[in-house]
Chains A and B, each alone.
Chain A
Amino acid sequence: MQTLDVISVNVWLMLISLLNLLILFLLLKKFLYKPVQNMLAKRQEAVDKEYAEAAEANEKAQQDQADWQERMEHAQEQADRILHDAAATAQEHSDRMIAAAKEKAAGVMRQAEAEAVLERQKAEDDMKREIVDVSAKLAEKMLGRELRHEDHQAIIDTFLDEIGESYDTTK
């Protein structure tokens, strides 16, 4: 079998070799670099998107937090106001109730006092009449005769009034 010389120069062989290298370059470019580069670009895109979404979510979360903080502060204020209002209302209510109770109690007292005065009057009158009766009977017994009731009554009344006055003064 023939062989080339160790150092041989053949234009066509060189040209074929040159084209071989070009062909391999094109093959590598089309079938290795292009697909992988496309995929890398896609990955970059996906990563960028993720980052953008994360930033957006973060911003939203911060906004939400601020929102909630504000709302919480608002709620605190509102609660304070409600409590305050409730306390005020209760105070007013209780004041009114106490006032009503006091008034009622005063009314009862007044009535009781009036009744007591009336009772006393009545009791005084009763006592007077009793005393008159007793003393009339006593006098009748002592004198042995019947007195005229009207006279007697007059005498005893004056007497009793005197006693009453002196009693009043001594009291």
Chain B
Amino acid sequence: MNKKSRLFRLVDVLLLSLAAAPLVGGVVLQVLTKPPSQGISISGARIHFTLPAPLQALPITEAQINSWIVIVSLFFLCLYMTHGLAVRPETKRQVIAEWLIEQTESLVANNMGPYFKGFAPFVAAIMGLSAVSSLLTLLGMYPPTSDLNVVGGWALLVFFLITYYKLKAGPLYYLKSFAEPVAFLTPLNVIGEIATPVSMAFRHYGNILSGSVISVLVAAALQGLSRMVLGWLPGVLGSIPFLQIGLPAVLSIYFDVFSGCLQAFIFAMLTMLYIANGFPADEYEKRKSHKQNKVKQA
């Protein structure tokens, strides 16, 4: 099937545009709702509206909306990549999809072992959501990863997973593991346990936010420098911050692209390592064989 049917092409175009539409919508929303900036301001995500909720009001923020944009976009991208799968690959996107899946699967298998084979899509979800969220800054949108609540939610999920797999060997074993290697270290162990998700969340959020802050500060500083050095130029020329050309772009490549992808990778790696290390494989095997023996005896 060298020549794709028209319907096939139509679906392709439709899926691609559906993947792009949320991003375009996000940019449009940003343009429509963002107030003109007044000087240097470093603040959290803008709140579109607030819903009443028990315990704490629920604000619907840019970060939430941008997260959903990323999810919808990635979903349609998945549909596009798996559209027209064939045993003999005919499309580049199939090769890319296979490569992605093989890479994530081998990464998970290498870092977590065969027991956690099903974690490949989860790790891919963390990487994709985190990286694309961070890269939203390239479109001028607010990156959800610089909101502590977003990254904190992910870290919380990872914490639940760590605890779930630790509990696989029984609640008693789990509790006993806090008193290792000696009993009086228990408070430290508890703190360490809680510190895991907190440190993960703050690391990711802090890196992305600090990138934005540094970018804003450098841009502002360059503007001031430009006014100081080139202010003598006549008319409009004097008010154009020429020195802002160049350096902010380099910083953006580092903070937005490189740091964004790196933090996504780090978050995924930490997730894998914490879950795999927390899982007491030997004890779990022992329990399992013990249970099987009991079943046999009964």
Contact = CB atoms under 8 A, between A and B. Distances in A.
Interface of A: 1-25, 27-29, 31-33, 35-37, 39-40, 42-43, 46
A14 B125 CA distance: 17
B179 interface: no
B82 A31 contact: yes
A31 B75 contact: yes
Interface in B45-84: 45-47, 53, 55-56, 58-59, 61, 63-64, 67-68, 71, 74-75, 78-79, 81-82
B128 interface: yes
Max chain A Cβ within 10 angstroms of own Cβ: one of B63, B86, B121: B121
B121 A29 contact: yes
Interface residues of B, number: 52
29 contacts: A3-B46, A4-B44, A4-B47, A5-B44, A6-B43, A6-B44, A8-B149, A9-B149, A9-B152, A10-B149, A13-B61, A15-B153, A17-B151, A17-B152, A18-B154, A18-B156, A18-B157, A20-B150, A21-B125, A21-B126, A21-B157, A27-B78, A28-B124, A29-B121, A32-B97, A35-B85, A36-B82, A36-B98, A39-B85
A32 B150 contact: no
Contact of A12 (B43, B45, B53, B144): B53
Given A13-B59, A24-B128, A42-B87, A32 B147 contact: no
Count chain B CB atoms within 10 A of each CB in A6, A19, A40 and give the residue with the most: A6
User: What is the predominant secondary structure among interface residues of chain B facing chain A?
Assistant: helix
Nearest to B120: A33
B254 interface: no
Contacts of B59: 2, 4, 10, 13
B135 interface: no
Contact of A7 (B55, B120, B148): B148
Contact of B47 (A3, A22, A25, A29): A3
A23 B64 CA distance: 14
A10 B58 contact: yes
Nearest to B98: A36
Contacts of A5: 43-44
Given A1-B33, A1-B46, A10-B149, A32 B101 contact: yes
